[in-house]
Structure 1
């Protein structure tokens, strides 16, 4: 079976590879457009056909990248070839092509709706063709598993990278704003003789003042550019409008308004990060990403033999106590002590976990090795994430094996409380903490002796 932790790392690795492909493919499409534009075929059927061909190539490349990463896990774990493994590998690759190809879908939609020529195959049809090609090269796979969340340092790096790219675009805009302000301030006093009517000037001045109020309310690069453009129009009209010749008071008032707006924009622009600062962050982030990828590759290629040996040596447990930490003193610890005194082998976090242990890995080991899971259902349990994941693992075991694995204990709740959380759990016969720890332990012992 594929190691879930390595599979999670591999999926993150695939996402990073796909993220790197996005920019390359975007450049490839732009080059195709530029080449045909030079030939006068900017929206022709030729462009549509070449775009479709480029989409097929990119889908093939991404499928091969996903298969390359997953195959390294298979070879690293020396897994036996079987139908279940074949099925999971195919489903994982199909899942990645469905989840991480939004950029390809966007380009396909644009080409289909805006370019002349024969209709392109649907994007789903293109993806199915790619999957058929990659599936023919796969010899091994495993039963598909669903992951509720994919976390890790490298995924955070991808998210940060996207945020930094947005910041870089914003820094470029503000850099242009600062440059435009300098040019406009230089041109403020370069005015000519008046020849235009006052009405046009008043209209532009009203637009300028409205745009400046909007900038003050929400200072953005776009609103700053709009204020600058209207300010420039205002100064140009003043050059040609009667009554605004130097050194009239009307002209001085106009210049003061424009100068005030430019100074306000400059103050905001100076607080924005520069392109150089964002580039430095991106450089540091790429270094972190490279180090993270190296770590992932090493962990994929060299599975922990020590961890495998530890799993093999781990003694099985009779029961696993799943509980919310708030219920530890009232019921979980006393129940563990009572069962332990009766000779029951109990997985209880305080007794099993040691300094430095991986919490998730140890819990997975306990769930795998135990015969039954004693699940203490309480209002605290219903609000906690970890205990619910433990319950999900036990229910999955029941579904797969067809044998009972969950022994519910109700604590400070009743059938209505359990029913609101899970109707299927409410129908199960349960022990109740109100009966006393000794009675609950006796009922669990009766099940273990069967």
Structure 2
């Protein structure tokens, strides 16, 4: 036993108490504005289907068409891997999981579109389409055939289409209520947001609906689509998107990048409008920083290059989509848009490859951290949070199985969730 050190202090307890009291408002503000990730599943993609095209068999149709594309253009693991450049050890696991996913759960998130994909229609026609969307979505959840997340994108809050957008939302939500209530996976998307005041107005609209139907306050959340330059940089030089999150009053669930509207807003030529354009990278980086810690998730946009036509053309489109998806994942954009059934094989291939490539290393690092074992990397609570979040996302989408994760980490899903959602103090205790 060494000599016991004498511990001495100089400050009176009242000093610490005064400091704590002075920072109490800041503590409360941090908890309110930055609650952290909600810990719920985030879909890997969002599929948009025009309101007039949405039908009871849409989800199954997308899966069947995606499987047919594989059968025609990449009928086995080796041919699919050759198109995408997958490593030999990933070819079979990825291909088999993609096919299984398309059979079991082809779409993770579906939005019935009443905006650009639908366009202006007679009021009676849009009313009927919105009511039909509500009925079909309610039936899908009742039958157990729904995607994990489903909802609508209405027209925006700009003057020319505001009343129509509000009415479509009202018809849709009222239809769901009359069919038995709002499903847990309901998602609403507000497009072409330019000013925080539009977000505030939409939040008040949802609050009015909740009060009308006696719903819990805050039951209805929504995604904000970032499709204009003004939503990134306001006239006063501030990041408008950060103010939009606050204007939502806790209802914002996501920020979705609109590739083509945003690019066109900046004057990018049509041939260069893509999710990897420097303008897109800047916008998404601002969105990512604005959303960090708020519980609001960021989604990438889409590609408009469709995998259709002869095999050579389909393969080119697949390589493009796969590369863009992998690029987004590396930049922590874990969700994107898919515009065609032919896109979802490469969406899942990119996602599954991303999680399976890094699985063993992430599992080993998290196991060492959990067991306080040594290694060649010194990880901290923030890294354990990232590692467990990585594994959880892989489990949620089907890239990984809980048995193989448990085998390599010795952890349960509950353990992973505990590491993924540490208290704020746990992340800052090291002073890093």
TM-score, length-scaled by structure 2? 0.26
Higher RCO (CA 8 Å, separation ≥ 6 residues): 2
Structure number having the greater helix percentage? 1
Report the structure number with the largest CA radius of gyration.
1
TM-score, length-scaled by structure 1? 0.25
